Every structure is written in structure tokens, then in C-alpha cells.
Amino acid sequence: MFNLTRPGRIPHCRRRPAFCDAIITHRAPELSEVTYETSGDPVTVRGWAPPEDADGIKLWMLERIEDAQLMGVYAITVHVTPAMARVLVGDDKPGQSTEGPNADNRAAVESHIDKLAATMRNGHWALNGETIIIGHKGWANGEPEWFINDGQHRLKALIRSGVPGIPVLMAFGAERGTIYTVDSEAKTRIVGAQLSIMGTQNATLVAGVAKLLLEYEKYGRFADRSEAPTKAEILLEAASKDYELIEAFSRIPRHRVMTRHRRALVFCDIVFTYKAAELAEEFFEDLYSAAPKIPAVRALKAILIGPAAPTAVSDTVEIIIRHWNAWRVGGHGAFLAGRVSGGSFPLIRSK
């Protein structure tokens, strides 16, 4: 956090008096406390609150870049509004910008904008230390040229989300040319890795099951990439189903062939239990036994451990559900060896 009072002109001022006079006479704003609504308790964040009008925002940005001329690269917490985001990136449309601070940045990805917007809209956005990077590249018309080196998707998502603002850490002072190093050596942290950090056992599998549960609850089918649940939603789902996940994983026998279907088995165990707990217990106890007695379960186990066992989780889920349904209507399930519906979760019978 910085609250600067400029001691006087800086070297650039002798060459650019009109720009620097405006900057020096404009005092740095006081830090503001803003309370944000979240999916849990409201969170109050202390940070910089830029003006709301476009000209004021541009002047504020120029001030911060001038600070970097004195101090080098630094970062501050900023309360970013949709008005500020529009000054920075223009609009929330995907594709590549050709003018303004976002010019020549990589083309924005529609699906990623939508995911981030959903995260903000659902109250899952958090100030986690990741920065929006403002780079500069020389001077033009007596003012420093500045660009978005990193953060265009977050800014476009804010415009699209409809929320009044988000807190972000904004970094100033990087050279424009360093944009080519942003994320060049980064490894994306998948949800499983985040759950592992939180101490979750079988973290990658838990993340996969949580994703399936969200798809089942939200869409009734296996979601494609454009509508897949966000990381924040998967983390919350995993946390809310923690007990059920642990119980379901613990029931699977340590059988080499059966364990490769763990994601589908745990998902079905949880969903069936919600439908009819006692019947679900009977179904899976029989499935995990050495010699299943229920005809439909016996047929299902033969498929799962056989040479033609499905490899895709979605296929396995469908086959398990259809054999459950066959059992509930008194069938043996032998005719259900393949996937039928092509992507939807079959209706799960409770009786």
C-alpha cells in the first residue's frame, strides 16, 4: 500500500511539463474500505478507489505509472469497477483488441471470460494476491504509454458479470516487453492440487467427482468445456460433500480393476444414496462382494471387470445408472452393456 505525497518534479518533468504539472498537483487518494458480498460472510477490503469518470480514471492510472518511475515495480490493492475496466479493456467482447491499453494483447477467450464472470457473480471471487499487470512503453504526446500486460480476462469478466466491483492487486512499473514472459513458465494449478493443499485425501479423484455432481445438479448431463463448472464451484462442492465423498471412497474394495472406476462409482454411490439410502447400500455392498447375488449387479460387475470395460467416466456412469434402474424394475441388466443416450444422465429410479 502506498499513499504518496510527491516531493517535487521528477526528471521527466523537465521534458514534459504539461503532463507532470497535472500529476504533481493531483494528490494521491486516501485508502478506502469497501465491503464485498460473497457466498459466505461479507468481506471488507482496504484499498485504492479510483474516480468513476473515464478522464479521472485515466489521470489516476498515469499517476500510478509516474509513481513507478520513482519507485520501480510495485503493487497496490485497487477497488476496480466496471467503469474502470472499460477504460482499461474497452468492452467484454472476446477476440484481440487493436487499440487502447489492451492493444495487441492475446485474443481473449469467451469461455474463460464466462467462467470468471460466473465466479464473480456467485460471490466466489477472492483477493488472492494474483496481479493485474500494467506495463509501460516509452512516451507519446508528452504522456507515458501504458498497456495491460496481464489481466484482460478478469477485467472483461467484471464488465460482463454485472457486479459493482471487485478487489484486485494491481502492479505498475513493468516494461511492456515483459508481457512475453507472463505465464511462460507457469503451471496451472488444477483443482485437485488445490484440494491437496487443503489436506483432502484422493484430491484429484474428489475434484472429478465434485465436477460430476455439479454437472448432474445443474445440467442433467455431462457438460462440455464451454459450460463446465468453475474451479471455485468445484472446490465448494467438494467441501460441502466432504463426508459423503470420504464414505463412498472408503467402501470401494482395493481391487485393481474396480479402483480404475472409482470416480464413476463414488459419484453414483452419492447420487443413489440421496435417492434411496438403504437401497444404495444394498446395491454397492452386492457390487463389491466376491459373488454378487442381484442379477443386474452381477451383470454390471462383469462389464466393469471385463476386457470390454468402458474407459471414459461418462460411459461408466451411464452404465452403472442403467443397471441400477434395471434392478429397480426387476430386470437383469444383461442388455445394457453399452452407452445408450450419448451424453445425458439417465433418470435415476428411486423405487
Per-residue HEC secondary structure of 282-312 comes to HHHHHHCCCCCCCHHHHHHHHHHHCCCCCCC
- Claim to verify: residue 138 and residue 275 sit in the same structural domain: no
**269 falls within a domain:** yes
Spatial separation of the C-alpha atoms in residues 100 and 238, rounded to whole Å: 41
| Residue with cell string 466496471 | 82
- Claim to verify: residue 196 and residue 96 sit in the same structural domain: no
- Claim to verify: residue 160 and residue 27 sit in the same structural domain: yes
| pLDDT value for 255 | 60
- Claim to verify: residue 33 and residue 162 sit in the same structural domain: yes
Spatial separation of the C-alpha atoms in residues 18 and 143, rounded to whole Å: 9
- Claim to verify: residue 215 and residue 291 sit in the same structural domain: yes
Q: Does the pLDDT at position 90 exceed 60?
A: yes
Put the strands of the sheet holding 143-150 in their side by side order. 74-80, 166-175, 131-140, 143-150
**338 falls within a domain:** no
The three three-digit cell numbers of residue 162, written as one number = 454485472
b/e map 70-101, b = 16+ CB within 10 Å:
eeeeebbbbbbbbbbbbbbbbebeeeebeeeb
| pLDDT value for 189 | 56
30 vs 239, more confident: 239
Q: Which phi and psi angles does 139 have, rounded to 5°?
A: -130, 150
Q: Does the pLDDT at position 314 exceed 60?
A: yes
Query: Which of 260, 28, 235 has its CA nearest to residue 122?
Result: 235
Mean pLDDT over each residue of the chain, to the nearest integer:
77
**336 falls within a domain:** no
Candidate from 2-6, 282-286, 314-318 with smallest mean pLDDT: 2-6
**162 falls within a domain:** yes
Q: Which pairing describes strands 143-150 and 131-140: parallel, antiparallel, or unpaired?
A: antiparallel
| pLDDT value for 310 | 84
Query: Which of 53, 52, 48 has its CA nearest to residue 27?
Result: 48
Spatial separation of the C-alpha atoms in residues 134 and 171, rounded to whole Å: 6
Q: Does the pLDDT at position 27 exceed 50?
A: no
| pLDDT value for 98 | 53
- Claim to verify: residue 47 and residue 79 sit in the same structural domain: yes
- Claim to verify: residue 108 and residue 77 sit in the same structural domain: yes
- Claim to verify: residue 218 and residue 167 sit in the same structural domain: no
The segment with the largest mean pLDDT, out of 27-41, 81-95, 219-233, is 81-95
Length of the chain measured in residues: 351
Element (H, E) at 135: strand 131-140
pLDDT in tens, 118-132: 889 988 888 888 899
**54 falls within a domain:** yes
- Claim to verify: residue 144 and residue 269 sit in the same structural domain: no
pLDDT confidence tier of residue 66, bands split at 50, 70 and 90: confident
pTM of this prediction exceeds 0.75: no
Q: Does the pLDDT at position 17 exceed 70?
A: no
Reduced to 3 states (helix: H, G, I; strand: E, B; else coil), residue 167 is: strand
Spatial separation of the C-alpha atoms in residues 167 and 76, rounded to whole Å: 10
**256 falls within a domain:** yes
Range of the domain at 310: 191-328
Candidate from 30-34, 88-92, 189-193, 294-298 with smallest mean pLDDT: 189-193
- Claim to verify: residue 199 and residue 312 sit in the same structural domain: yes
324 vs 13, more confident: 324
Mean pLDDT of 38-64: 87
| pLDDT value for 168 | 92
**3 falls within a domain:** no
Reduced to 3 states (helix: H, G, I; strand: E, B; else coil), residue 79 is: strand
Q: Does the pLDDT at position 164 exceed 70?
A: yes
State the total domains in the chain.
2
Query: Which of 197, 216, 314 has its CA nearest to residue 272?
Result: 216
Find the DSSP H helices in 97-181: 110-121, 152-161
Which residues are CB-contacts of 18 (< 8 A; sequence separation ≥ 6)?
A: 142
- Claim to verify: residue 19 and residue 157 sit in the same structural domain: yes
- Claim to verify: residue 22 and residue 148 sit in the same structural domain: yes
Q: Assess contact for 32 and 49: CB atoms under 8 A.
A: yes
| pLDDT value for 137 | 76
Domain finish residue from 181, 207, 223: 181
pLDDT in tens, 232-268: 788 878 877 777 887 888 878 766 567 788 889 999 9
The three three-digit cell numbers of residue 88, written as one number = 482499461
pLDDT confidence tier of residue 96, bands split at 50, 70 and 90: low
**350 falls within a domain:** no
Task: Give the end-to-end CA distance of the chain in Å, rounded to a whole number.
Answer: 61
Q: How deeply is 48 buried, as exposed, middle or buried, from its count of CB atoms within 10 A (0-12, 13-18, 19+)? A: buried
